[in-house]
Amino acid sequence: MVFYLIGLGLGDVEDITVKGLNIVKNCSRVHLEAYTSILCYGLDKTSLEKFYGREVIEADRTVVEQESDAILNGADKEDVALLVVGDPFGATTHADLVLRAKQQNIPVRVIHNASIMNAVGCCGLQLYNFGETVSIVMWTDTWQPESYYDKIALNRQRGMHTLCLLDIKTKEQTVENMMRGRKIFEPARYQKCSEAASQLLTICERRKAKGEECAYDENTMVVGLARVGWDNQKIVYCSMKEMSEMEMGEPLHSLIIPGETHPLEVDMLETFKP
């Protein structure tokens, strides 16, 4: 039989493709990957089950990354599906699942859908002008990595746009709870455009303090995107300093640092100035 990876798109339950919906209705088991992204606020497993007319099994990070056999179990004898917000290959985790399935000689089919990787074109920047995508993580008092800066700087040197994917923390545990084996999780946290912009400006200040030239400054224009594909989608084009103080509302957020722009791109971006 077949293991299906099915993209759900970006907005709500109705964004699944017709092909994907038909497969979901006919599979023996359907799992929902519930940590690399989220569906529209207010939607949960119950909402999906009501729309699909069947049970959906939630699969958190531990299940997907460490207990994948629980998902693949029986897929050699019956059809099993894993639902993924966006496109199935928007996260490397899902490629690993495909490899594990193939190692067990389980046929795999992928049903693609829209993801943030292509939907960012809604701001007017042309997709083929994007360089390497980076992930910006939430800083703590003791852990403040800057490795993504070098990729941004390289994209800037090449005149390419940079899509910054912002951090998501779901079902995270404190060190104490992990050590004690307590299944107590912290509230979900989603990085904001303002937080990401502030971190980027801090990195710039640190580089300048070392005598280095920074790839951008507080006047560099950036694009903030919130809830792309949702009914209340928001796009703002402003300076990085302004973005560090900008309220974009509920998650999910993404940030773009434009490179060299075509006049048509500029005309589109101008429509999103606050």
Predicted pLDDT of residue 40? 62
* Residue 252 counted as an annotated binding residue: no
* Residue 12 counted as an annotated binding residue: no
Predicted pLDDT of residue 47? 86
Predicted pLDDT of residue 187? 81
Q: Is 34 exposed, middle or buried (0-12, 13-18, 19+ CB in 10 A)?
A: buried
Q: Which of 188, 164, 161, 176 is nearest to 269 (CA)?
A: 161
Q: Which of 33, 11, 7, 37 is nearest to 166 (CA)?
A: 37
Question: Would the pLDDT of 269 be above 60?
Answer: yes
pLDDT, average across residues 142-165: 97
CATH 3.30.950.10: which residues of the chain?
117-271
* Residue 85 counted as an annotated binding residue: no
Q: Name the band, by pLDDT with cuts 50, 70 and 90, for residue 59.
A: confident
* Residue 115 counted as an annotated binding residue: yes
- H or E, element range at 49: helix 45-52
Structure-model confidence comparison of residues 255 and 32, the more confident one: 255
Distance CA 64, CA 33 (A): 7
Question: Would the pLDDT of 42 be above 60?
Answer: no
Question: Would the pLDDT of 93 be above 80?
Answer: no
* Residue 90 counted as an annotated binding residue: yes
Predicted pLDDT of residue 39? 66
Q: Name the band, by pLDDT with cuts 50, 70 and 90, for residue 241.
A: very high
Q: Name the band, by pLDDT with cuts 50, 70 and 90, for residue 216.
A: very high
Q: Name the band, by pLDDT with cuts 50, 70 and 90, for residue 133.
A: very high
Structure-model confidence comparison of residues 154 and 175, the more confident one: 154
Distance CA 71, CA 189 (A): 26
Fold of 3-114: Cobalt-precorrin-4 Transmethylase; domain 1 (3.40.1010)
Q: Between the CA of residue 34 and those of 109, 169, 266, what are the distances in Å?
A: 20, 11, 36
**DSSP code per residue over 91-108:** SHHHHHHHHHHHHTT--E
Predicted pLDDT of residue 63? 74
Question: Would the pLDDT of 174 be above 70?
Answer: no
Q: Is 267 exposed, middle or buried (0-12, 13-18, 19+ CB in 10 A)?
A: exposed
Q: Name the band, by pLDDT with cuts 50, 70 and 90, for residue 127.
A: very high
Task: Read off the pTM.
Answer: 0.91
Residue 17 is encoded by which pair of tokens?
């493709």
Distance CA 71, CA 64 (A): 8
**Percentage of the chain lying above the pLDDT 90 cut:** 74
Predicted pLDDT of residue 35? 64
* Residue 10 counted as an annotated binding residue: yes
- Chain-wide mean pLDDT for the chain? 91
Predicted pLDDT of residue 222? 98
Q: Name the band, by pLDDT with cuts 50, 70 and 90, for residue 4.
A: very high
* Residue 82 counted as an annotated binding residue: no
Distance CA 179, CA 200 (A): 33
* Residue 137 counted as an annotated binding residue: no
pLDDT, average across residues 111-135: 96
Question: Would the pLDDT of 41 be above 60?
Answer: no
Q: Which CATH class is domain 117-271?
A: alpha beta
CATH 3.40.1010.10: which residues of the chain?
3-114
